[in-house]
Structures are given as structure tokens and as C-alpha cells.
Structure 1
Amino acid sequence: MFDPKKLEQVAKQIQESMPQPVKELGVDIEQKVRQVIQAQLGKLDVVNREEFDVQTQVLLRTRQKLTELEKKMAELEEKLTTKSKSED
């Protein structure tokens, strides 16, 4: 769901900011930090990048269709107005 490289980077930054005695606890601390970060990120109401990209494409297609429909509507309104004026 989340980019493992980014999680690794955040975990590394947290570990590097810890005092030396804590750093010496090594792998166990790194694993615990990763678990906590993943648990907290899992609680967030977010979508992953793939879902976001799919929805962006859907939105772009919808916007394109809306633009086309607006153009057709304007053409029909123009024809209706022209027809009304010619009947007067």
C-alpha cells in the first residue's frame, strides 16, 4: 500500500536521530519503528499511488466528456436560437 523505500528512509532518519546507546539496540529498534510507522499509516484514510493515478485518469476522461457535452449543448442552443429567430 505504501512505498517501502519511503518507509525505509523515514525509519532510517528516525534511527539516525536517536542517541548512540539507543542506536546500539540495532535491528530490533529499526523493526519496531517500521512496525509503528506502518500501523500509523494504515490508520490513515488514504489511497495508494496506483489508485490515485487510476482515479486521476477517470477524472480527466470525465472532464473531457463534460467539455464535449458542453460544446454540443452550446451548438444545439445556437441552432434552437437561430431556428426561433428565423420563424419570427
Structure 2
Amino acid sequence: MMDRQDIDQIALRLVSLVPPGLAQAQQDLRANFHDVLTQGLRRLELVTREEFDVQSQLLARTRAKVDELERRIADLEAEAARGH
């Protein structure tokens, strides 16, 4: 998930888009942008990069096991076919 610094940077970028005439409202807008971004990201139920990497590694190992089992089954089927 994004950390507080990333959210602050996005909020600052959004505030920089506010017309200069509304400069007094920029602090309020920055706080509001920060809150909205934080809440929105929390609702997305994102995983951390570490969690993603762990799951990717697990999936790769599982895929390798499935490939090996499929190869073994094919070998056994071929052997059984030769035996009949």
C-alpha cells in the first residue's frame, strides 16, 4: 500500500492544480485530498508489495509442481498404454 509520504505528495500535486485565487483554501483542500485518498486506498483492500511477491513465489512453485505432476501422469499413461 502507499505510505503516508506518497499520499502527501499526491495531495500536494492536487493542491497545486487549484487556481491561485483559492490559495487560502489550499491547506483545507490538502487535508481533504489526503483524507479522501487515504480512505479510498483503504477501501481498495490493496496488498503490500511484500505480500504480492510472496504470493507470486508461491504461485510459481505451485505451477512448477503442477507441470511436474502432469509430466509424470503422461509418462504413466504412456507406460500403461505400452503394457496393454
Structure 2 CA distance, aligned partners of 1:27 and 1:60? 47
Structure 2 CA distance, aligned partners of 1:80 and 1:65? 22
Unaligned stretches of 5+ in structure 2? none
Q: Deviations over 1:6-47 (max 9, x none)?
A: 423321221111111333445443233212200111111332
Structure 2 CA distance, aligned partners of 1:18 and 1:47? 32
Partners of 1:16 and 1:23 within 8 A in 2: no
User: What displacement does 1:48 show?
Assistant: 2.3
1:30 paired with 2:26, answer no
Structure 2 CA distance, aligned partners of 1:58 and 1:68? 15
Amino acid at match of 1:12: L
Q: Which deviates more from structure 2 when the two are superposed, residues 17-26 or residues 74-83? A: 17-26
Q: 1:41 corresponds to which residue?
A: 41
User: 1:1-88 alignment to 2 at 5 Å?
Assistant: 1-84=1-84
Structure 2 CA distance, aligned partners of 1:34 and 1:7? 6
Q: SS of the residue aligned with 2:30? A: helix
Structure 2 CA distance, aligned partners of 1:2 and 1:82? 58
Residue identity over aligned pairs, in percent, reads 35
What RMSD over aligned residues (CA atoms) do the two structures have, in Å? 2.0
Q: SS of the residue aligned with 1:45? A: coil
